[in-house]
Amino acid sequence: MSSRSLGVVILLFISVLVSVEAASYCRVQYNMRNMNRYIWGAPSVECSSPHSWDNNMGNFGVSSNVGGVSDTKQFPGWFSDGSKFYWFACERDFPPPDCSAYNANNCTEQESWAPDQGENGNYGGGWMYISVNCPQDLDYDGWNDTGGCLDLDGMPFTMAGNFMTIYELDWPDSDDLVRSLYFDDRSVTLNCPSWDYCGPAISNDVYPYLWEDPWGATFDASDSESNRLVNSSIALEVVSAYWVDPEGYCNW
């Protein structure tokens, strides 16, 4: 699933903003973030022997259109060892209700307790170098009035082809595929009050329109929770943006 070519489509408006001579950039840092993480029951992918509650917990990683799997906090759960948040992952041996294995809906389901901030839920991102015109001080007051990141102020920054393929991580063994979730595009409006930077922004979050299980069966929101199994919303976050002129093109 992670090999599907559902790539990123970002910033189609650039060509109408910038002259062909422009060679400076506004460097935008962006992340994709998940939140409202929930599991209806549990997958049966971490059923190690001897069977015990703590031996059947797993950290979940994400492969997506914005990055690969890492053993960090890409899809944090609810049981914390101080460094990560784990999910219970063996419904086969510990069916609900079981208050030692499930923390939601009368001990039958699981809900993430990790706060939606910082590293938690940040499952991928990067930097986009967007060509902009050289900053100019048109009124000669010592401050640039146009160009630079100001070219992008009020413009949409969009991430398309969004998906998360979620794995229970099993190093050094192979990871176990849990579900793939597919989402509509997310977009933010860039807030660039100055030629040299843009401020942070975050989109509204959205839930999946499609789920896919490890055997290729697909489900939508009208299907049973047991078939969909995992739920989460996602949002696009612009962390910051700064004007850069690496080749000295503007050369004041």
Q: How do the domains of the chain map onto residue ranges?
A: 14-244
Residue 243 CA to its chain's centroid (Å): 24
Unique residue bearing structure tokens 């950039």: 25
What is the per-residue pLDDT for 151?
Answer: 97
What is the per-residue pLDDT for 14?
Answer: 36
Q: Does the pLDDT value for residue 5 go beyond 60?
A: no
What is the per-residue pLDDT for 51?
Answer: 72
The model's pLDDT over 88-116, given as tens digits with 9 standing for 90+, comes to 999 999 999 999 999 999 999 999 999 88
Q: 75 versus 11: which is more confidently predicted?
A: 75
Closest by CA to 40, choosing from 251, 228, 233, 232, is 228
What is the per-residue pLDDT for 118?
Answer: 83
What is the per-residue pLDDT for 169?
Answer: 95
227 φ, ψ to 5°? -75, -40
100 Cβ contact list (under 8 Å, min separation 6): 53, 94
Mean pLDDT value across the chain: 89
Unique residue bearing structure tokens 């060892």: 81
* 65 vs 111: CA distance, rounded Å: 25
> Mean pLDDT over residues 159-184, rounded?
95
Q: Under a CB-based contact definition with an 8 Å cutoff, are residues 212 and 179 in contact? A: yes
Q: Does the pLDDT value for residue 2 go beyond 50?
A: no
Q: How far is CA 63 from CA 54, 59, 67, 71, 210, in A?
A: 25, 14, 6, 11, 16
What is the per-residue pLDDT for 16?
Answer: 31
The model's pLDDT over 216-248, given as tens digits with 9 standing for 90+, comes to 999 999 999 999 999 999 999 999 999 999 888
* 239 vs 237: CA distance, rounded Å: 6
Q: Does the pLDDT value for residue 24 go beyond 70?
A: yes
What is the per-residue pLDDT for 17?
Answer: 39
What is the per-residue pLDDT for 252?
Answer: 61
What is the per-residue pLDDT for 168?
Answer: 97
Q: Under a CB-based contact definition with an 8 Å cutoff, are residues 58 and 85 in contact? A: no
Q: Under a CB-based contact definition with an 8 Å cutoff, are residues 225 and 5 in contact? A: no
* Number of Cβ atoms within 10 Å of the Cβ of 63: 24
Q: Under a CB-based contact definition with an 8 Å cutoff, are residues 199 and 240 in contact? A: yes
CA quadruple 67, 71, 75, 79: dihedral, nearest 10: -170
Q: Under a CB-based contact definition with an 8 Å cutoff, are residues 70 and 26 in contact? A: no
Q: Does the pLDDT value for residue 67 go beyond 80?
A: yes
> Mean pLDDT over residues 186-209, rounded?
97
> Mean pLDDT over residues 39-54, rounded?
84
DSSP E strand boundaries for 136-225: 156-159, 162-168, 176-183, 186-189, 197-198, 201-202, 210-212, 218-219
Distance separating the N- and C-terminal Cα atoms of the chain: 49
Q: Does the pLDDT value for residue 4 go beyond 60?
A: no
Sign of CA dihedral 95, 64, 190, 9: negative
**Three-class SS state of 151:** helix
What is the per-residue pLDDT for 48?
Answer: 76
Residue 234 CA to its chain's centroid (Å): 6
For residue 189 the two structure tokens come to 């409006």
What is the per-residue pLDDT for 90?
Answer: 94
Closest by CA to 109, choosing from 75, 82, 78, is 78
